[in-house]
Structure 1
Amino acid sequence: MTRCNRKTSSLTKKISWTSAAFAAVLATVSPLTQAANEQVIPGPRDCFWARGPVSADPYVNIAYPDSSVFYWAAMFTVPDGARLDMAGEFAHSRYQSLISYDNRGRPVESVADYLIEPNKGSINPFRAGARRDSRHRDYTIEVVGQALSTQNVEGKNLAGLKRNKIHAPAFSGQQALLYRIYAPDDKANESGGVDLPKPVLTLADGRRLTGSEACKALKTNQPLQITLDALGIPTSQYRELISQPDKPDTWPAVIPAKWHIQLDRKSLIGIYTGDINYESRRSAGGFYPNPDNNYIRTIVNRRHGPVVVIRAKMPTTPKTFDGDKKMTDAQLRYWSICSNQSFANTRVNDCLFDEEVPLDQNGYYTIVISREADRPRNARQECGMAWLPMADDGDGVFDKDVSIIQIRNMLASDDFKQAIQNVEIDGTAEEVMGEYYPQLMYTMTNAVEVAMPCNT
Structure 2
Amino acid sequence: MPGGVQGNGTYLRDDQIVPDEGSINPFMSPNRRDVQTERRRYTVYIRSGQAPRKPRPNTLYTGTNSERASIHLAFRNYMPDNGYDGTGNVRMPPLEERGLPVELGLPTVTLHLPEAPIQSEEGLYNSDDTVLTGERMCRTLLASKEGQKQEFPTKEWLQLIEDSWDRVNAPAMPAPMFQRFWNMDYSVKGAFIPDPIKRVIRCPASNDGAWLNNPDTVYMVGLFSLAFGEVVVIEGKMPTFPKTKHGQVSWPEEQTQVRYWSLTTGGTAPSGLGWSTIFDEEIPLVEDRKFTIVMSRAIDRPKNADREHGVKWIEFGAGEGHYIGARSWVNCVYIRYQASLSNYDWPNSPLNIPIPTEENPAPMDSLVMGPYYPTAKYMSKKEFERLA
Normalised TM-score (structure 2): 0.79
Residue pairs, 1:108-257, within 5 angstroms: 108-135=9-36, 136-149=39-52, 163-168=57-62, 169=64, 172-194=68-90, 195-203=105-113, 204=115, 205=128, 208-221=131-144, 230-247=149-166, 249-257=168-176
Q: CA deviation at 1:151?
A: 10
Q: CA deviation at 1:131?
A: 0.6
Q: Give the number of the structure whose residues are more often strand, by fraction.
A: 1
Residues 267 and 318 in structure 2, CA contact (< 8 A), matched pair in contact too: no
Whether 2:323 is the aligned partner of 1:429: answer no
Q: Greater relative contact order (Cα 8 A, min sep 6): structure 1 or 2?
A: 1
- RMSD (Å) for aligned C-alpha atoms: 2.7
Residues 231 and 287 in structure 1, CA contact (< 8 A), matched pair in contact too: no
Match of 2:283 among 354, 357, 369: 357
Residues 365 and 373 in structure 2, CA contact (< 8 A), matched pair in contact too: yes
- Counterpart CA distance in 2 for 1:393 and 1:279 is 27
Q: CA deviation at 1:110?
A: 1.0
Match of 2:263 in 1: 337
Residues 241 and 273 in structure 1, CA contact (< 8 A), matched pair in contact too: no
Residues 102 and 108 in structure 1, CA contact (< 8 A), matched pair in contact too: no
- Counterpart CA distance in 1 for 2:132 and 2:283 is 46
- Counterpart CA distance in 1 for 2:345 and 2:57 is 23
Normalised TM-score (structure 1): 0.68
After superposition, the Cα gap between the structure-2 partners of 1:249 and 1:213, relative to the gap in structure 1 and judged at 3 Å, is: closer
After superposition, the Cα gap between the structure-2 partners of 1:280 and 1:394, relative to the gap in structure 1 and judged at 3 Å, is: closer
Q: CA deviation at 1:102?
A: 3.0
After superposition, the Cα gap between the structure-2 partners of 1:364 and 1:383, relative to the gap in structure 1 and judged at 3 Å, is: same
User: Secondary structure at the residue paired with 2:78?
Assistant: strand
For 1:300, give the aligned amino acid.
Answer: F
Match of 1:273 in 2: 193
Give the count of matched residue pairs. Answer: 339
| Unaligned segments of structure 1, at least 5 residues | 1-99, 153-161
| Unaligned segments of structure 2, at least 5 residues | 91-104, 116-127, 357-362
Match of 1:416 in 2: 346
Q: Give the number of the structure whose residues are more often helix, by fraction.
A: 2
- Counterpart CA distance in 2 for 1:175 and 1:240 is 30
Match of 1:367 in 2: 293
Q: CA deviation at 1:341?
A: 1.6
Whether 2:332 is the aligned partner of 1:404: answer yes
Q: CA deviation at 1:406?
A: 0.8
Residue pairs, 1:11-90, within 5 angstroms: none
Q: CA deviation at 1:429?
A: 1.0
Q: CA deviation at 1:111?
A: 0.9
Q: CA deviation at 1:417?
A: 1.0
User: Secondary structure at the residue paired with 1:299?
Assistant: strand
Residue identity over aligned pairs, in percent, reads 28
For 1:377, give the aligned amino acid.
Answer: K
Match of 1:445 among 377, 381, 386: 381
Which structure: larger Rg? 2
Match of 1:390 in 2: 316
- Counterpart CA distance in 1 for 2:49 and 2:71 is 10
Q: CA deviation at 1:247?
A: 4.2
